[in-house]
């Protein structure tokens, strides 16, 4: 023992030397997954009920008897509202990584790599652009359900 710590590193390095043994857990997991699916399907076919009839073959729609055509046209406003929802949903997804970077930037000293004021200004510009789009859609009457 000369004071260097190499035994743990050598142990970790030896794990990946045999390519066959490194794929064994993945192959085993895939075999278990496929076996589980096959056993469940076979069990439902063997154990499950197999009665048929006009009541069983009828389309089930939340307990209601289906009436009319299934291909009914929707108003375009539904799709526009959905797209606006997606835009704000994506904005929220962008806010999480920004918040972690912002927290690191604010906690660093003045000589750090990240500047908290610049990060805050960038996010304010981003949110203002999205709010302009939101108010534009609101002014066009997208959210009115006449």
Task: Kindly report the three-state secondary structure assignment for every residue of the chain.
Answer: CCCCCCHHHHHHHHHCCCHHHHHHHHHHHHHHHHHHHHHHHHHHHHHCCCCCCHHHHCCCECCECCCCCCCCCCCHHHHHHHHHHHHHHHHHHHHHHHHHHHHHHHHCCCCCCCCHHHHHHHHHHHHHHHHHHHHHHHHCCCCCCC
What's the pLDDT score for residue 113?
55
Per-residue pLDDT of the chain (146 residues; tens, 9 = 90+): 455 555 444 444 455 567 767 888 899 999 999 999 999 999 999 998 888 888 777 777 677 777 777 777 777 778 888 888 888 888 888 888 888 887 776 666 555 555 777 888 888 998 899 889 889 888 888 888 76
Specify the pLDDT at position 111. 53
Q: What is the pLDDT of residue 121?
A: 86
Q: Using the Cα atoms of residue 109, residue 110, residue 114 and residue 120 in order, give the sign of their dihedral.
A: positive
pLDDT at 15: 52
Rounded distance between C-alpha atoms, residue 19 and residue 7, angstroms: 22
* pLDDT value for 82: 86
pTM of the predicted model over 0.75 = no
Q: What is the pLDDT of residue 9?
A: 47
| pLDDT at res. 12 | 47
List pLDDT tens digits, range 87-127: 888 888 888 888 888 777 666 655 555 577 788 888 899 88
């Amino acid at each position: 023992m000369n004071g260097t710590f190499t035994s743990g590193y050598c142990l970790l390095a030896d794990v990946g030397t045999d390519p066959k043994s490194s794929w064994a857990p993945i192959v085993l997991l895939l075999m278990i997954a496929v076996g589980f699916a096959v056993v469940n399907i076979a069990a439902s076919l063997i154990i499950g009920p197999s009665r048929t009839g006009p009541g069983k073959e009828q389309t089930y729609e939340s307990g209601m008897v289906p009436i009319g055509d299934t291909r009914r046209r929707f108003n375009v406003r539904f799709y526009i509202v959905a797209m606006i929802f997606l835009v704000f949903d994506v904005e929220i997804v962008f806010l999480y990584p920004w918040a972690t970077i912002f927290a690191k930037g604010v906690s660093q000293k003045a000589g750090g790599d990240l500047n908290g004021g610049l990060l805050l200004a960038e996010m304010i510009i981003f949110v203002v652009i999205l709010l302009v789009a939101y108010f534009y859609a609101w002014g066009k009457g997208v959210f009115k359900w006449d």
